[in-house]
Amino acid sequence: MSKGLFITGTGTDVGKTYVTALLIKTLRQAHYNAAYYKAAISGAPSVAAGDAGYVNRTAQINEPENLLVPYTFTHAVSPHLASKLEGITIEKETILNGWKQVTARYPYVTVEGSGGIICPIRHDTTACYNLEDIIQWFHLPCIIVGTIGLGSINSFVLTAHYMQSKHLPVKGLIINRYHGGIMEDDNIAMITERTGLPVLAVVKEGDTSLSADPHKLAALYEGV
Ligand SMILES: Nc1ncnc2c1ncn2[C@@H]1O[C@H](COP(=O)(O)OP(=O)(O)OP(=O)(O)O)[C@@H](O)[C@H]1O
Ligand SMILES: [Mg+2]
């Protein structure tokens, strides 16, 4: 049976893809056959130029990228809007079929969300899907990635509390773009105290590996 993990963030552009690539690379180097899935990517001229292409190359998954993402949009807006602008209907069945294919081939699949935790995937008179639905369809535990610095206490704690209020299981946090110093260290202490969540890894600017035990990382994934 395949296991999965959902990577959300405190917002867009906080390093979900960057960190996910390092996470999968770390697992693969420790001989865990790990792969990637993202339901919808916006703002990418091609699959290869988007998040799936970046992770595929950085973590050396070496799969045809279409397997890793069913929907790619050129407009750099939320998938629910990008799909409307591009005349494409996002179907639950297509997202689930893509998920079945990738989980049939890989025992560890890391799923990246779009934007932060509140991101509409489809919103019309026939259906509304949000990221929370995808997490529930796939039965995934989650981790929250965010940059550390001014404003990060607010964004991490709000994200964690929102997810807890929706009964989404959050396993911990990954701190990105850590430079050190009294403010960033205090931010981390405030965030862990207020969320009750552990820091699973700290990523610095330009890091090319994740300083975390791959076996502990693999243990975060749960059967789907
Ligand atoms: N620790 C880091 N060191 C160097 N560059 C980084 C780091 N973290 C993120 N970046 C860069 O910041 C930019 C945004 O990161 P990334 O694409 O991973 O964000 P994201 O949260 O996945 O965004 P989206 O919401 O669009 O999926 C990218 O150019 C990425 O390479
Ligand atoms: Mg991304």
- Ligand 1: atom nearest CA of 145 is 21
- Tokens coding 88: 């494409």
Q: Quick one: which of 63, 94, 64, 65 has its CA closest to 79?
A: 94
Identify whether 100 is a catalytic site residue: no
Is residue 220 within 6 Å of ligand 1 at its C-beta? no
Helix (H, G, I), strand (E, B), or coil: what is residue 110? strand
Whole-prediction pTM: 0.97
User: What domains can be seen in the chain, in order of their start residue?
Assistant: 3-37+91-223 (3.40.50.300)
Task: In whole angstroms, give the CA distance from residue 141 to residue 38.
Answer: 15
- Residue 108 pLDDT grade (very low, low, confident, very high; cuts 50, 70, 90): very high
pLDDT tens readout for residues 127-176: 999 999 999 999 999 999 999 999 999 999 999 999 999 999 999 999 99
Question: For the chain, where are the E strands, in sequence order?
Answer: 3-9, 34-37, 40-41, 71-72, 108-112, 120-123, 128-130, 142-147, 170-178, 199-204, 222-223
Nearest 5°: phi and psi at 201?
-165, 155
